[in-house]
Structure 1
């Protein structure tokens, strides 16, 4: 208990450090983008999602933006909305030609490329100051066909498997699942013998989208190939759909067809799920609400498919877009660079939910709002140290539970894998074609038919975007 207390820092000290960090970002060396001037902009309106870790918004981001605005003579307004509202709100503001100057997405907003500014100058300046942007983040914000950065990505979230160790021990697999087939074998056994379901959604929401893609890639298939040709309708996709039908029958219940983005979190925290594919947010909530459940939650990397492949999508990929209507674009760009400069605080305030896009960014000097990490000079050092020795662990928890996440970059990829996150990929994601395909198979539609229907929809979307010159490939 004493060790846990020493690692944590008081709320007051953290808020104080957030203010100092923001001020330092505003008063440090000027950030100059070619051909730009910041003298005129006095206002900045930011729209962001309501973070899954509440303290991130309440105790850090809102304070950070307020202090940054004060230091830079900018009146900053921040509005938080639910993640499900972001697509429609973005579309409405772009259609109206007015609204927020910065809009945060948690998936690639590539379908809005024609209506947003190219943020390549921000990426260039960020890489000059903070080192190379991680390829995962670059591929989630850049269109190689148009050579345009339709958004700027400062960070991302890891998507591990989360399992209840005690349930899996009773089933004979205490180290948790390693393969997708383990979910059928042991997850099914847990449901039959212990009455606890497995929690993978088959509905029109974020986590169902992510899980469906992870399964597809681990079965060596995908929506497109590396050259952006539609490649969904093939025997390996049919195999994946048949697998999901088996998994549903053996280990899940009908409620997964109506799940929202928080349903699997809620099921795990309530003790009603043996495994979910999600970020660590459910675990963090359990630490506060049901500590005994939290102590029983452990983590796995990407599950392997029948031929040994194992991939998951990034759970969240933070993408800020600047609509063309914005009159404060230069100020928005300056803010984004300040955000990267202070991303150590974002990592800590999110309780390690946020991982950086710029791992080589230096840790600013001074009081950062958390206990100093010996020898840490870059964000990579903090990433490794904190996942090895979780500063938010509660008394009685096993040490090193998050260490499996240190090398998550090796088994995480982008939603367009193995190709880029193009506007077509964005629309396929936003219209939930993949979870609908799996749901159809689980409800009795022949796998071949479910896949054929899905590919027909995907091809129509790709054809539309190819006509606009925004997607590569020929089929």
Structure 2
């Protein structure tokens, strides 16, 4: 058992940070060197590296504006970020159309607000706008079909690494996205490595939803954990031991291993890394998947699947665990904050019994799958100027902060401008989500989230390795199969 950190890197801090505080916070966030330099320059702390820093950035400690119901002590920083963003829509937009394809939201308020913001922009610029929200597993097939047809939505919602997958079909937005990031303290390293294409922006990063352990306090107490709020199982092995007791109580652990882009990768990649394996080494060529430690870890999981998990999870998608948890069928799962937020609205007594915890650790450490989603403009669009104008408007802090606030911290911002906003810091039950930056790794680690990593993700190779192992009971053969598939991609 381990005691969780009492203050996360989004916990409330004074508006003015010392150089030491910034260095500590930047390390926790996984900031790239240019981003760290920008932060230090912004507070007069000098450069973190001998390389040239981007233009002076605002303090990353901005509190929420009217969108979140609080006054901002750093209005100047927000104004600076807004000033760095082009805002004027071209006159030629009048009478044009703009369509957007997005994945559906697990926090409905965020989806409603986005739709309202789009309609507001359309009305102000005399543009006919529309947005289509689709289930997560349906997003990539729809984008691929549009690319094949050369027609479809003007703006598409992209998952981590997808910009590399669709690079030939996306409009270059590097100048705007680069300027935006620099004005807000620099993009986090996990954003750069998962959403850019060889360091160039073909889409605008919007951050990502992230995962933590979601669990029922009372049920873990019944399973023998004296104080699950402050002292939770710290390792995968300890979690599985408690899970065995929970399943015996009729309240198993719940995890999806189907073909969906949210929950399965959120489990499989961190587990793989925790047991010493990775897709490829830093050279981007050497596959490091089939290692003895990972085989041992997979054997542990195979047994735990029988002892501790709801075994129907092999066919679950990203919403099944939400429904199962809220219905009281499972006691634990990996998820964003959406389960808790739904309970706060519809079942407050259940919400009181819910808590969250950071990822378990394994022999190789504690890790989280972290990569940025983004919004890309398609080259086939007949309204590229309109698409650019909307994204430039929507990414201004006034609009983007409201969107973050509506989701109550479910979406992790791509820059440090928003890290002290109250939707990240006000509820202690959500502090685990503010710890993920310490442990983030991108798809394709130790390489970049490039086109090869995108292909691995799109083909669900890592997830299918787990599913094969669980179904067959043969860890070694399943991992060998996965390694062979990876070699075919990375060895090209």
Q: Would you say same fold, with TM above 0.5?
A: yes
Is residue 282 from structure 1 mapped to residue 334 from structure 2 by the alignment?
Answer: no
The structural deviation recorded for 1:124 is: 1.7
Aligned pair partner of 1:184 in 220, 227, 240:
240
Q: What's the offset of the Cα at 1:85?
A: 1.1
Q: Summarize the Cα distance change of 1:14–1:389 in structure 2 as closer, same or farther, 3 Å threshold.
A: closer
CA distance in 2, matches of 1:210, 1:72: 40
- Contact kept in structure 2, 1:179 and 1:305, CA below 8 Å: yes
* Structure 1 residues 38 and 278: CA distance shift in structure 2, 3 A: same
Q: 1:444 aligns with which of 465, 472, 486?
A: 472
Q: Unmatched 5+ residue regions in structure 2?
A: 1-65, 71-77
Given the alignment, which residue of 168, 188, 191 partners 1:134? 188
- The C-alpha deviation readout for 1:348-384, integer Å capped at 9, x for no partner, is 1112211211222xxxxxxxxxxxxxxxxxx2220xx
CA distance in structure 2 between the aligned counterparts of 1:172 and 1:280, rounded to whole angstroms: 25
Counterpart residue number, 2:214: 162
Q: Is the 8 A contact 1:205 1:261 kept in 2?
A: yes
Among residues 92, 104, 113, which one is paired with 1:40 in the alignment? 92
Unaligned runs of 5+ in 1: 1-12, 18-23, 361-378, 391-399, 467-475
Structure 1 position 297 matched with structure 2 position 336: no
Structure 1 counterpart of 2:171, from 117, 123, 140: 117
- On the 8 A contact 2:100/2:155 being kept in 1, the answer is yes
Q: SS state of the match for residue 293, structure 1?
A: helix
TM-score by length of 1: 0.80
Partner of 2:383: 328
Please report how far the alpha carbon of residue 30 of structure 1 lies from its aligned counterpart in structure 2 after TM superposition: 9.2
Q: Is the 8 A contact 2:256 2:314 kept in 1?
A: yes
Is 1:50 paired with 2:89?
Answer: no
Partner of 2:419: 380
- Partners of 1:445 and 1:111 lie apart in 2 by 33
Summarize deviations over 1:135-187 as a string: whole Å, max 9, x none: 2222111132xx43232212212211111111111222223321111221111
Equivalent positions of 1:151-300 (< 5 A) are: 151-173=203-225, 174=228, 175-192=231-248, 194-206=249-261, 207-229=263-285, 230-300=287-357
The residue number in structure 1 matching 2:42 is none
Please state how far the C-alpha of 1:128 moved relative to its aligned partner: 4.2
Q: Does the CA contact (< 8 Å) of 2:110 and 2:404 recur in 1? A: no
After superposition, give the CA deviation of every residue in 1:270-294 in whole Å (9 maximum; x if it has no partner). Answer: 1121211111111112222332222
Q: Is the 8 A contact 1:200 1:256 kept in 2?
A: yes
Q: After TM superposition, give the deviation of residue 405 of structure 1 in Å.
A: 2.7
Give the distance between the partners of 1:253 and 1:300, measured in 2 at CA.
20
Distance change (3 Å), C-alpha of 1:140 and 1:403:
same
1:404 and 2:411 correspond = no
* Cα drift, residue 14 of structure 1: 6.7
| Preserved contact between residue 241 and residue 437 of structure 1 (Cα < 8 Å) | no
Q: TM-score, normalised by structure 2?
A: 0.77
CA distance in 2, matches of 1:177, 1:267: 22
SS across alignment from 1:402: helix
Q: Does 2:489 align with 1:458? A: no
Residue in structure 2 matching 1:83, options 136, 150, 157 = 136
CA RMSD of aligned residues (A): 2.6
Over 3 Å counting, the alpha-carbon distance change for 1:165 and 1:458 in structure 2 is same
Q: Tell whether the 8 Å contact from 2:377 to 2:387 is kept in structure 1 after alignment.
A: yes
Aligned-partner Cα distance in 2 for 1:64–1:251: 44
Name the CA distance, whole Å, in 2 between partners of 1:285 and 1:37.
37
Any idea what the Cα deviations from partners look like across 1:194-246, whole Å, max 9, x if unmatched? Answer: 22110122222231122111101111211112221222122233123212202
Choose the corresponding residue for 1:414, options 428, 437, 442.
442
Identify the range of structure 1 (95-104 vs 167-176) with the bigger mean alpha-carbon deviation: 167-176
Instruction: Note closer, same or farther for the CA distance 1:134–1:337 as it changes in structure 2 (3 Å cut).
Output: farther
Per the alignment, residue 462 of structure 2 pairs with 434
Is 1:159–1:277's contact at 8 Å kept on the other side of the alignment?
yes
2-structure distance, mates of 1:412, 1:434? 17
Q: Classify 1:427/1:259 alpha carbon distance in 2 versus 1 (closer, same or farther; 3 Å).
A: same
Secondary structure of the structure 1 residue equivalent to 2:298: helix
Decide whether aligned partners of structure 1 residues 30 and 190 sit closer, same or farther in structure 2, where only a CA change above 3 A counts.
closer
